[in-house]
Structure 1
């Protein structure tokens, strides 16, 4: 690559034969001259790599076959370390880019060069690629946001969809990258760390799609209730002390209620319908004002609605 790319796209993949062709197609539909696409593949066979190699004439690809690297967090950290661009994003093997992603990235970076983390909403799609909703962030658009403002909302619920953000490579490296011990909440943790490390801005512009399906980590990882709960509590307890006491007084009850709701919803999805009663009690315990804040920051309605739509269409 003769010139430094605008953006490095890190793709941690594993046994991605079912999805990765569509994902790479979505990248190839965009202008590729400003990109570096770094695929780190830990698959046990060469089937995924063979699909990736078919795109070598359409994309500026670097393929690393690393069967020794299991977790996606480990592969992502390596990818960021190896990235040639100053700005980086992550794209999982089952997610997509939408038209004008590159144009939006170029505009975001030019308009706010001081920002270390660019956030955005994303479309939610089912396993067949049909839109079932929109994943928003409860943030004002086009304003540089301080760490306290963002953490007060982010600690209630992780509202950042992995394919949407663009971040400064130096900020990621400075805050230590992803905690590889957090197999479920490493993305939540890194957004909180980046919020403290550098200014953040939210763009109300959808340029990516997040796929919901029954074999995703989002679904399978929540089946062990105690471990699922522990993963969320680690992030909360790690970052809550960063807030002043005046904020912690209302953020902590909402965040702990949110964890309880998430665990209850996972149990209900597995057939324990009594868990829905526990979820309702957790929310109502916050009182009217706390409940309104929780519903704003948790995006509970849209999260549940997207998954229900995918199930109703038989495409979850």
Structure 2
């Protein structure tokens, strides 16, 4: 078999509501440019049957693994099976947009040594309706040095998971996903990749990130202390790596951002009193800190679509 250009990793679990759309969003691939590695821990064979319907037009490697329940463990095992020099993750509820493959292959050809490629994303609801655009705070340049990305990324994980393409050797060197983390292992490995080289960025959306009531964020954030702890672990790991005259301020903003994320989740779950606490966090940052927080976190991009979905009754 020819070596593919890209290995797409899909951890699957009870994903029959969205999996067909996710696989259908991938382009027909008679030339073997991509391989899809799907590991499925579902309790039924429905996802296996969905995958089988796409096997004729995709290079699809499917394994039924009910013994591997966590998405991080399935992702790491699939990454170990990957043959391509670059890997990407696609979760069962997200989508590729048309022409993503063309766009990312062109970007990889332009800078094959970049540790990681990121793109903007479209945010959609459970029915596939567009809610907004999710951008990275990397506009204006297509190539960024790792320390500049880390400075922004420490404040907030501004990356839509399905948009990321990473060199497989970088993934391996970073040790893959930290399986002790349930919410922030992707953020953790993005920080590790940015420590290891340049980051490329495409400002146009190439993927759709779906928000819905059954998502990991919505379910996991119901336990505020654990939710906050997941973010604080990553901030504590990489805050010491941030250098330069702005390092102390960036660390302060990053710690506040984790607390604000947790408070926003509480608001989404109905605790309106958390709004006052959010205002207190912003006031303590001061004008410059608020500007930096708003810029690096892309909070508006992330929150407005969720408010829109809540008003529609989708969350």
* 1:32/1:59 contact within 8 Å kept: no
* 1:21/1:52 contact within 8 Å kept: yes
**Structure 1 residue 80, shift from structure 2 partner:** 1.1
CA distance in 2, matches of 1:302, 1:29: 31
Could you say which residue in structure 2 is the equivalent of 1:150?
149
Q: Secondary structure at the match of 2:246?
A: helix
Aligned length: 315
CA distance in 1, matches of 2:74, 2:136: 26
CA distance in 2, matches of 1:184, 1:32: 36
Query: Which moved further from structure 2: 306-315 or 217-226?
Result: 306-315
**Structure 1 residue 30, shift from structure 2 partner:** 6.6
**Structure 1 residue 29, shift from structure 2 partner:** 5.3
- The Cα RMSD (Å) is 1.3
**Structure 1 residue 28, shift from structure 2 partner:** 4.0
Q: Secondary structure at the match of 1:273?
A: coil
Q: What whole-Å deviation, never above 9, does each CA across 1:190-225 have from its counterpart, x for those lacking one?
A: 100000112111111211100000100011111101
**Structure 1 residue 245, shift from structure 2 partner:** 5.7
* 2:30/2:57 contact within 8 Å kept: no
CA distance in 1, matches of 2:291, 2:31: 43
Q: What whole-Å deviation, never above 9, does each CA across 1:153-186 have from its counterpart, x for those lacking one?
A: 1011100010001110000001111100010100
Could you say which residue in structure 2 is the equivalent of 1:105?
104
**Runs of 5+ consecutive residues of structure 2 not aligned to the other structure:** none
Could you say which residue in structure 2 is the equivalent of 1:179?
178
Could you say which residue in structure 2 is the equivalent of 1:232?
231
**Structure 1 residue 32, shift from structure 2 partner:** 6.2
Matches within 5 A, 1:1-316: 2-28=1-27, 33-244=32-243, 246-316=245-315
Q: What whole-Å deviation, never above 9, does each CA across 1:246-304 have from its counterpart, x for those lacking one?
A: 33211111111111111111111111101011011101111111110001111111211
* 1:122/1:208 contact within 8 Å kept: yes
1:30–1:305 distance in 2 versus 1, CA, 3 Å? farther
Q: Secondary structure at the match of 1:17?
A: coil
**Structure 1 residue 31, shift from structure 2 partner:** 6.7
CA distance in 2, matches of 1:148, 1:134: 25
Q: Secondary structure at the match of 2:200?
A: strand
* 1:138/1:296 contact within 8 Å kept: yes
**Structure 1 residue 314, shift from structure 2 partner:** 2.7
* 1:30/1:100 contact within 8 Å kept: no
Q: Secondary structure at the match of 1:73?
A: helix
Q: What whole-Å deviation, never above 9, does each CA across 1:81-103 have from its counterpart, x for those lacking one?
A: 11010011000000001100111
CA distance in 1, matches of 2:300, 2:276: 16
**Structure 1 residue 313, shift from structure 2 partner:** 2.3
* 1:40/1:64 contact within 8 Å kept: yes
CA distance in 1, matches of 2:88, 2:246: 31
**Runs of 5+ consecutive residues of structure 1 not aligned to the other structure:** none
* 2:121/2:205 contact within 8 Å kept: yes
TM-score, scaled to structure 2: 0.97
Q: Secondary structure at the match of 2:209?
A: strand
TM-score, scaled to structure 1: 0.96
CA distance in 2, matches of 1:306, 1:104: 25
CA distance in 2, matches of 1:162, 1:140: 18
